[in-house]
Chains A and B, each alone.
Chain A
Amino acid sequence: MQLALFIIFGALALGGALNLLLQRHPIHSALSLVVVMMSLAVLYWSLGAEFLAAAQVIVYSGAIMVLFVFVIMLLNAGTEQRTRGSRAAYAVGIPGAAAIFCLLSFVFLSERGALKSSNIGGDLSSATDNIAEVSAMLFTKQLLPFEVTSILILVAILGAVVLARKEQ
């Protein structure tokens, strides 16, 4: 069951990501991004991370994608122009991506035996509720990263104001 879910939604996520890159109209790309996000949410859920799956749907597929689509509509962006792209990007990028893929699969396949029986940290496998685990982690051990994220968001807002405002 879990394997079937993984294969279906993993393939969907990959297909959506490829479609996002290959589509020429921004709206089509944005909609394929929704597919990617939703399939990722299902994958999280099948791994036992219900909270993460729900957050993924609400935040990414809900809020962020609506914003994306709004901006694309407001800008009235048409079909993008096709450029050749730089030859160096193809010459280096594709072999580079292939090399990283091979490296990752080599490492995972060579350590397959150990990975099969692994139980990562035990954070998600205890008897208590997943949401309780996440919130306990977030407000005790990882309190500082959680709070400091507010500075990160402040910087991002400040940057948006600076870059978007007209020079007086």
Chain B
Amino acid sequence: MNLPTSVIALLPEYVLTLTGVLIMLIEAVLKPGTSRKPLGWLAIAGTASTGFISWYQLRLGVLTAFSGNIQVDAFSIFFHLLIGAVVVATLLGSLDYFDGHASHAGEYFALVLFGAVGMMLMTCSTELLMVFIGLEISSISTYILAGFRKGHGTAVEASIKYFLLGSFATAFFLYGIALAYGATGSTSIAAIAAGLATSATPRMAFLGLAMMLVGLGFKVSAAPFHLWTPDVYQGAPAPVVGLMSTAPKAAAFAVLLRITFCGFPQMQTRWAMLMWGLAALSMTIGNLGALKQTDVKRMLAYSSIAHAGYLLAAFTAFPAAGISAACFYTAAYAAMNVGAFAVVTQVGGYKETLRSFKDYHGLAMRRPVLAALLAFFLLSLIGIPFTGGFFGKFYVFSAAIQAGNIWLAVIGLLNSGVACFYYLRLLSSVYTKPAETAPAPVDQTAKETGASLTATPTISIPAGIGLTLTAAATLLLGILPGNILHLANSASSSLRATSATTPSAASSVNSHSSLPPSGHSR
């Protein structure tokens, strides 16, 4: 390969950006009435090819480019693959979603791709300014995607609320960067770690870290900053929720791992306490809030708050075990949550006429395959063995216990018990309650509902592929976690190698070219 490093290191981002621009250009020349599905397939092809490029990058060792701003290592490639897989699954699930409804499906595909570019840049940059711009790209595209069903009041509410609160949180993140710069004289993560040792103002540096924690805590919907989550998840289109509850969160967690373990390693005892509090609060508030929900999407929103809490528990562990547990949990959570929202998409349709627990009564009779998939994803979210959720929780809590945080693990396990209740409540309404009779008591929507009840709509082929992929990934993570765990471990070791040495000295850390190519599809 005689391409310069600056091209090879960012090749996935380049391909995605060019695909997005291409989609925008083709969209502009297509006639208004024609189907936008080819554009969707183009987007899927572009994302899939970035996955292969990332896979190839794994063999090249650590690549640094753009004067050290970008570092492609096993850690960033893990998250690249994860984000790419989530985007592919989401696009497959939403190919038919806009048929006959929104007139700007082409823009939807472009926005998803650009958002993915932002998230990928977040995971591979070692410079906080670059992280900030990546965060903004991914946030702004998700603000817009949240309001894509323009005719619906809840969609507008979701978009505005997410935008205003998100900008507020971004301001905190930026102020944190400024304070860290003031205390250490740099915005590069490695230089911050070096400057911290000699900094005359350690309190200011820690305040900077805390502010960044607030900003990222908002993005991952951790507990004191979670207030937007239920409303936004309720109003946004279901496939978009599947995307934005997993991919931007994965990117934010990657940034959080990099900042805490690489940028502020000397202060670990201090920020681990903050993480302890955030984790305990998120788990408890998420699970207690989910108990009394009657809307499926709101219930899943609270459950995602709780899952952010489980994930934050990994930050209180020792670096080696904590980072790989967090990586594994992110992957498992992404697989099962994208799957759950893909089912919600199929059940609800574009207008989302079926969305409360009551509407899911008798789903097992009407659409047995969908009901079975939903049951599987819910069991995984509970953390039943033979699913990805089980091993995710297992690794996180065992890592926390190793570091002596037994009470946090106890709180987490108690919360898992509470969580069983509401997941099983949805399952019981799917399987044990009889369906309401076709002339449902609701007013004009009842006619459509009745029609869809009798017609038993089939799942389209792309959506079926997407559902199969997510289900297979969840199952695979539950019965053969070895491959992903190996990748997570090498991600963890590459991240710790960069925190131990300066980025220029960290070379040839990962040389694992013999990974079997299975197990990363999701």
Determine whether B154 belongs to the interface, using a CB cutoff of 8 Å to chain A: no
Query: Which residues 20-76 in A have Cβ within 8 Å of B in the complex?
Result: none
Q: Contacting B144 at CB < 8 Å: which of A122, A145, A158? A: A158
Residue A165 CB within 8 A of the other chain: yes
A148-B133 contact, Cβ under 8 Å, with A111-B200, A114-B200: yes
Tell me, in angstroms, the Cα distance from A163 to B129 when the chains sit together: 28
| Of B135-143, B267-275, B437-445, B463-471, the one with at least 4 CB within 8 A of chain A | B135-143
Per the bound structure, the CA–CA distance linking A107 and B130 in Å amounts to: 27
Number of interface residues of B (CB under 8 A): 47
Bound CA span A114–B205, Å? 13
> What residue of chain B has the Cβ atom nearest to residue A144's Cβ?
B66
Looking at the assembled complex, report how far the CB atom of B386 sits from the nearest CB atom of chain A, in whole angstroms: 40
B185 in contact with A121 (CB, 8 Å): yes
Residues of A within 8 A of B141 (CB): 155, 159
Q: Mark A111-150, 1 if CB is under 8 A from B, else 0.
A: 1001100101110000000000000000011111100110
| Chain A residues bordering chain B, tally (CB within 8 A) | 33
* B17 contacts A151, C-beta separation under 8 Å: yes
**How far is it, in angstroms, between the C-alpha of A3 and the C-alpha of B284 when the chains are bound?**
49
Does A83 sit within 8 A of B, measured CB to CB? no
Tell me the bound Cα distance from A62 to B323 in angstroms: 47
Chain A residue nearest in CB terms to B110? A158
Nearest Cβ on chain B to A54's Cβ, whole angstroms: 21
Q: Which residues of the other chain, A, contact B181 by a CB distance below 8 angstroms?
A: 120-121
Q: Which A residue's beta carbon lies closest to that of B67?
A: A141
Q: Name the prevailing secondary structure of the A interface residues.
A: helix
Are A145 and B133 neighbours in the complex by a CB distance under 8 Å? yes
Give per-residue flags for A90-124: 1 if the beta carbon is below 8 A from chain B beta carbons, else 0: 00000000000001100110110011001011100
- Contact among A107, A118, A152, A158 for B111, CB-based, below 8 A: A158
Q: Could you count the A-B residue pairs with CB atoms below 8 Å apart for me: how many are there? A: 102
CA distance A86 to B114 in the complex (A): 36
Contact with A along B44-79 (1 / 0, CB 8 A): 000000000000000000000011011000000000
B32 at the interface (CB under 8 A from A): yes
* Docked-complex contact B201 and A152, CB < 8 angstroms: no
In the complex, the answer to whether B107 meets A162 with C-beta atoms within 8 Å is: yes
List chain B residues, Cβ under 8 A from A80.
none
**Given A140-B67, A141-B67, A110–B207 Cβ distance below 8 Å?**
no
List chain B residues, Cβ under 8 A from A107. 203-204, 207
Which A residue sits closest to B107, measured CB to CB?
A: A162
Top 4 nearest A-B pairs by Cβ distance? A114-B200, A159-B144, A144-B66, A168-B103
For this complex, 18 residue pairs linking A to B, each with C-beta atoms less than 8 Å apart, are: A111-B204, A122-B185, A142-B129, A143-B67, A145-B127, A145-B133, A151-B118, A152-B133, A152-B140, A154-B114, A155-B114, A155-B141, A155-B144, A159-B140, A162-B104, A162-B111, A163-B144, A167-B102
| Extra inter-chain contacts (17) besides given A149-B133, A162-B111, CB under 8 Å | A107-B203, A114-B200, A114-B201, A115-B201, A115-B204, A118-B182, A121-B186, A142-B129, A143-B67, A148-B121, A148-B134, A152-B133, A155-B115, A155-B137, A158-B111, A158-B114, A159-B144
A: residues with CB less than 8 A from B are 103-104, 107-108, 110-111, 114-115, 118, 120-122, 140-145, 148-149, 151-152, 154-156, 158-159, 161-163, 165, 167-168
